[in-house]
Amino acid sequence: MLDPRRLRTELDVLKKGLARRGVDTSVLDRAAAVDERQRHAVAKRDELRSQINVLSKEVGEAFRSGDKATGERKRDESKTLGEQEKQAEAEAKEAGDELREILLRIPNIPADDAPEGITAEDNVVVRTVGFDERRYDAHQRVPHWDIGAELGILDLERGAKLSGSGFPMFRGAGAAMLRALCQLALDRNADAFEEIRPPTLVRTETMVSTGHLPKFEIEAYHVERDDLWSIPTAEVPLTGQARDEILDADALPIRLMAYSPCFRREAGAAGRDTRGLLRVHEFDKVEIYAFCTPEQAGDVHAELLARAEGSLQALGLPYRVLDLAAGDLGDASRRTFDLEVYAPGADMWLEVSSISWCGDYQARRANVRYRTADGTAMVHTLNGSALATPRVWAALVETYRQPDGSVRIPDALAPYMRGVEVIGPPPPR
């Protein structure tokens, strides 16, 4: 959420920032008008309270001096002002609630160095690592959904039977490889990140704290009976667990990581974008996360990116780093680097991680602060996928498919695979 004080001091700056996203900036004019109305009501309320306090003293003095008529008259004046004060208080609250509702739906302001542009086509490829299209043979040009079915490690039909399309089911070595990917990501970051296993269902205010509500309600899964939400990413509970807290500045940056299942109502165009594991509603992910000061944010952002790249390098997967254009940023982000792996069977670059710096946008929603010499200030939050399994899994089985149709396990995963080094055809059932 944007700092409402900036509506009074930096309205033009905010408008320029939103315009870079391709957002209608008139919402800021509306917010500024509501902010002015709230401040006027608050000023009126405070002035009336001051007058009431003065009158209360005068009433007491009048009665003590025996001037009953004056005391009763001033008491009636105080009652009248009291009604006006209640009305002003109601107007201030109404305007404050309206302002918060508006601000909750306004996205963050892009960083100055975020690339210009409003679509994914405007994203900038920063670097490509390990990719050579000529290295792939015909046996690697088979899509993972066919490989998975052939080897009995991916059962999309039974997943759909259980839960509908977009809910894949993994079997045997395929399920083991999914778990192995998560454990690899946790182990690679355990040197500096505290492991958290957060709840998978969270309250509404927890979803609001990261910007996933109210704007993206249609994309989330809601358990209405209990008013709980299935998390779309562990970023949500990792942010929310510090809600309304003041952190020790000396402890910053605070680095956290979490494995969790994630749930999203992903909607894609019909056709190849929805085949196999390209776009699913449930998946496993290891999130890396940090609270820090504004001065630490740049270094922490670079660290999260390097750690996410390290996992892909360990797996031997070609990948590229994209610097997202202002208009393609997530609503909470000021600057994001996406990591995409190449899947030769699907012949696609697949996004597997977004490493985002959110500034104080989420912290302001969640009221997470740290102590300073002058009081308190909002922390900055950063998040990213150390490894998101479905698309990495897809790229792995396509990249490591052998001429005989088997899939070789990358060396980095071998310690987690119970001795399985090659996934071959399943035994007859």
425 token code pair? 């055809």
pLDDT score for 425: 84
DSSP string, 196-257: E---SEEEHHHHHHHT-TTTTGGGSEEETTTTEEE-SSTHHHHHHTTTT-EE-GGGPSEEEE
Nearest to 300 by CA among 253, 237, 337: 253
pTM, rounded to two decimals: 0.93
Q: Which residues are catalytic?
A: 264, 279, 351, 354, 391
The predicted-structure confidence for 268-306, as pLDDT tens digits, reads as follows 444 446 789 999 999 999 999 999 999 999 999 999 999
d(CA 383, CA 211): 13
pLDDT score for 244: 97
Query: Is the four-CA dihedral 31, 32, 34, 39 of positive or negative sign?
Result: positive
Where exactly are the structural domains of the chain? Answer: 6-104, 120-423
Q: How far is CA 413 from the centre of its chain?
A: 28
CATH of 6-104, one of 3.40.190.10, 3.40.50.360, 1.10.260.40, 1.10.287.40: 1.10.287.40
Query: Helix or strand or coil: residue 262?
Result: strand
Nearest to 328 by CA among 35, 22, 112, 83: 22
Homologous superfamily of 120-423 in CATH?
Answer: Bira Bifunctional Protein; Domain 2 (3.30.930.10)
The DSSP bridge pattern shows strands 380-388 and 335-343 to be unpaired
d(CA 297, CA 369): 15
Per-residue pLDDT of the chain (429 residues; tens, 9 = 90+): 999 999 999 999 999 999 999 999 999 999 999 999 999 999 999 999 999 999 999 999 999 999 999 999 999 999 999 999 999 999 999 999 999 999 999 999 999 999 999 999 999 999 999 999 999 999 999 999 999 999 999 999 999 999 999 999 999 999 999 999 999 999 999 999 999 999 999 999 999 999 999 988 999 999 999 999 999 999 999 999 999 999 999 999 999 999 999 999 975 444 446 789 999 999 999 999 999 999 999 999 999 999 999 999 999 999 999 999 999 999 999 999 999 999 999 999 999 999 999 999 999 999 999 999 999 999 999 999 999 999 999 999 999 999 999 999 999 999 999 999 999 987 776
85 token code pair? 């004060």
In our burial notation (b when 16+ CB lie closer than 10 A, e otherwise), range 192-211 reads: ebeebebeebbbeebbbbbb
